[in-house]
Amino acid sequence: MKRKLFSLALVSAASVAFAQQDVFALTGKTSTNIVFSDFRTIDVNHGVSGAAIFSAESSPNVFSQQQNRMITEVKQSFNNSQAVSMASLAYDGLNGKLVYIPMFSSNVYLLDQKSKDITLIESNVVKTTSCDLASHITRMTTGYDRNIYAMSNSGSQLIQISRKDGKYTLTDLGAVKDDSANGENSIKMMTKGFGGDMVADADNNLMVFSASGNVFKVSPKLMTTKFLGKVSGLPANYSLNGAAVNSKGNVVIGSARGESMYEIAMDNLQAKPIAGNLKPVIYDLASSYFLGEKLNLITASGVDIYPTKVEEDFINIRLDDPKITGNVSVEIYDFAGIKVMQKNLPSIEKNRTQRIELNNLKSGVYVVSVVGSNKKVILNKKISVN
């Protein structure tokens, strides 16, 4: 039941409409060195770059989680929220925050898109030094378990960033190991595995896209990495620096050299250019989507579950389809596939939109299933309860 639930397509017209602006970019200035410019949204479906969310010239309010107060940072240091050298970005969709780590710092920062306020998560877990290229944190993504993962160039550190009771903590999971079949295609080799970015799939694996275009599958559970192949269809010497999953379930990549962006199909690792003349200097990309989790528009059945980001302890079920009659039930499953709630919907023919109280359901990610009188699933949809 668990695997069947989480492999089903999520369907929602609202989700598809919002998807276009849901790829975030950490951009830089045209330079031989990494020079931070801003965070912005990118509409990959139309090849359009959005306005900057936060730039190197911004004047942020920084709140220290450890000190529990507002602080003033030294802007010229490596340990600050606007450090020049930044190359890792993730999107915490559950809390609507951009998460990043400056390259030579152990600090983690969370940027609120609306208020532009920044939270500093101090930690000594990240063991990066400016002189050791292998130790630099250059890849980051949010896993399907909603923890955030960051990895060093050589895989010597896989960091897990988790949130509990409103506080963020960092855990060093250790170094990842190459699969014996990887041979010379080791993630630890500079020319094979360094740089780039990573995305997550619906099985909570991490897919590393190195700067050279090599792709590795990393299991946080087993701490192993398997070489999957090399991206084809890219220009010679293309430097792959950012990766994110788009609403079609494909990987979008960008380069720090200001080259064209590409879309990659995971079934054959074939790249094709994104339409438009979009050539931002990309240091990292992030999104709220996962590989193996496709968003499709259903055929005018009028079935929906909303909101998907729950903050008021209820959801709405809309079954505006005369073909749906009889006893309809709503089942809610947690991330482990365990049913945590079930409710019957009375008088569907009279009331096509009904409110379901969640009874103080714990914060987390759930799958809501609407089941018809014939016991067949009408709709599965993922929600985030905050």
How high is the pLDDT of residue 304?
A: 82
Residue 99's pLDDT band, with cuts at 50, 70 and 90, is very high
Long-range contacts of 15-19 (CB under 8 A, 24+ apart): 15/247, 15/295, 15/308, 16/247, 16/295, 16/296, 16/297, 19/45, 19/246, 19/247, 19/289, 19/295
CA angle 149, 151, 152 (to 5 degrees): 160
User: Two tokens at 280?
Assistant: 């931002």
Element (H, E) at 345: strand 339-345
**Alpha carbon distance 382, 177 (integer Å):** 32
Residue 7's pLDDT band, with cuts at 50, 70 and 90, is very low
**Alpha carbon distance 121, 106 (integer Å):** 9
Mean pLDDT for 273-301 is 74
Q: What percent of the chain has pLDDT over 70?
A: 91
The 10s digit of each residue's pLDDT in 122-170 is 999 999 988 899 999 999 999 988 899 999 999 999 999 998 888 899 9
CA dihedral 347, 348, 350, 354 (to 10 degrees): 100
User: How far are the Cα atoms of 70, 81, 84, 278, 337 from residue 64, in angstroms, in the given order?
Assistant: 6, 11, 20, 36, 36
Are the C-beta atoms of residues 175 and 204 closer than 8 Å to each other? no
Asked if residue 3 has pLDDT above 70, the reply is no
- DSSP one-letter code for 206: E
Give Cα 288 to chain centroid, integer Å: 4
Residue 50's pLDDT band, with cuts at 50, 70 and 90, is confident
How high is the pLDDT of residue 383?
A: 87
Least confident of 172-186, 198-212, 323-337: 323-337
How high is the pLDDT of residue 49?
A: 81
Q: What percent of the chain has pLDDT over 90?
A: 52
Residue 2's pLDDT band, with cuts at 50, 70 and 90, is very low
Residue 22's pLDDT band, with cuts at 50, 70 and 90, is low
Asked if residue 224 has pLDDT above 70, the reply is yes
pTM over 0.85: no
The 10s digit of each residue's pLDDT in 275-287 is 877 889 999 999 9
Q: List 317's β-bridge partners, or say none.
A: 305, 354
